[in-house]
Amino acid sequence: MSAEFKIVWTEPLTSFCQKVFEKMGVPSHDAFITSEVLVMADLRGIESHGVARLRRYYTGLKNGVMVPRPEMKVVRETPITALLDGGAALGQVAGHKGMQMAIEKALKSGIGIVSVGNSNHYGIAGYYSLMALKHDLIGISLTNSDVYVVPTFGREVLLGTNPISVTIPALKERPYVLDMSTAVATLGKLEVYNRMGKKLPLGWATDEKGQSCDDPGRVLSNIRSKAGGGILPLGGEGEEFGGHKGYGLDLLVDILSGVLSGSGNTNLLYPKTPDGKPLPSLVGHFFAALRVDFFRPLEEFKRDMDDLIRRLKNSAKAEGQERIYIHGEKEFELEEKYRREGIPLYFKVYEDLKAIADGVGVPFSL
């Protein structure tokens, strides 16, 4: 492993993050859930949403934008639906509650759909869809996010990297776990490239004139100063490779997460006072869970999923390729490896965790 990385272990890392959240006034149970979501991102190779984001939540709690002990409330409810006001909670806390409600409704009525408003950034979307897997349910998790993405043919950031995650159980094969951004890349991915001094592939982002740009620092600076340009929707620039389709998916997530919940959407997220002080972010989420056996026998469905997965994996490979992957497969394998061998943390992230520890008075011994 390169000297640029420090190997840390899952349990101590989770425990450290939990202690930081507890020091910030977050109840132990909520602190553990939030920490578990962050560490799972690193375990599954989504380091852009892992413990590198701890400072974001630390700062949000410190500034009062995120509420450590929120008053979450159900605004309206039916046997299969609910609207939850997250009370400006940590997104992981509101997200966990929203998905758990969807699961409980699905177990009773076959389907559960929960819309969550007035929340915050909830980490990786896959954490919540995977919650349904423990009950052999199909799980769906969506969220909108701060605006970093330009619409097709635009140069003003108006959309988030708004992810979609769907988990579907199988029998003996690994489950299908789609966990994808509706943009070419996440802001965290650009930050990773910038930290490592790497150029962006052309077609990921645009400059202030709306033209392709490979300089992550320039793109990040333009996004933060709203100088123009940003990340492109899935499919890239224009319509030639389907950028308009990624734009459509991105907007769909914003509608289901923000408009349906009556929370924020597009550039109405992360509002500020006239003097520039941040206000609660108004992020929205959308969760759904479905009972397969309300459609057909569960075991038959799972056997057919195995058959589908095997036919894909055993199909003819492109020249020079040895393997066809199913969504989530790489992440499951990486998680097994990192639990066994430790998680490699980029040294700048490791040093930032140490600085946070010093700031809140938590022992640091990772």
Structure confidence by residue, pLDDT tens digits, 228-257: 999 999 999 999 999 999 999 999 999 999
Q: Average pLDDT, stretch 173-184?
A: 97
Confidence at 196, pLDDT banded by 50, 70, 90: confident
Pick the CATH number of 70-180+241-314 from 2.60.40.740, 3.40.50.300, 3.30.1370.60, 3.60.150.10: 3.30.1370.60
Give the pLDDT band of residue 192 (cuts 50, 70, 90): confident
Q: Which CATH superfamily is domain 187-230 in?
A: Hypothetical oxidoreductase yiak; domain 3 (3.30.60.50)
Of 195, 121, 201, the C-alpha closest to 163 is 121
Mean pLDDT throughout 42-59?
A: 95
| Domain boundaries of the chain, sorted by first residue | 1-62+341-366, 70-180+241-314, 187-230
Q: Class for domain 1-62+341-366, per CATH?
A: mainly alpha
Q: Which two tokens stand for residue 44?
A: 């599954």
**Confidence bin at 2 (pLDDT 50/70/90):** low
Contact 288, 165 (CB under 8 A): no
pLDDT-derived band at 195 (thresholds 50, 70, 90) equals confident
d(CA 251, CA 254): 5
Distances (CA, A) of 139 to 298, 322, 338: 15, 30, 25
Please list the residues that pair with 74 across neighbouring strands: 84
Q: What is the pTM of this model?
A: 0.95
pLDDT average, residue stretch 205-229? 94
pLDDT band at 194 (very low <50, low <70, confident <90, very high): very high
- Provide mean pLDDT across the span 166-174: 98
> Tens digits of per-residue pLDDT, 307-365?
999 999 999 999 999 999 999 999 999 999 999 999 999 999 999 999 999 999 999 98
Q: Is 75 helix (H, G, I), strand (E, B) or coil?
A: strand
Per-residue pLDDT band at 4 (split at 50, 70, 90): confident
Average pLDDT over residues 99-121: 98
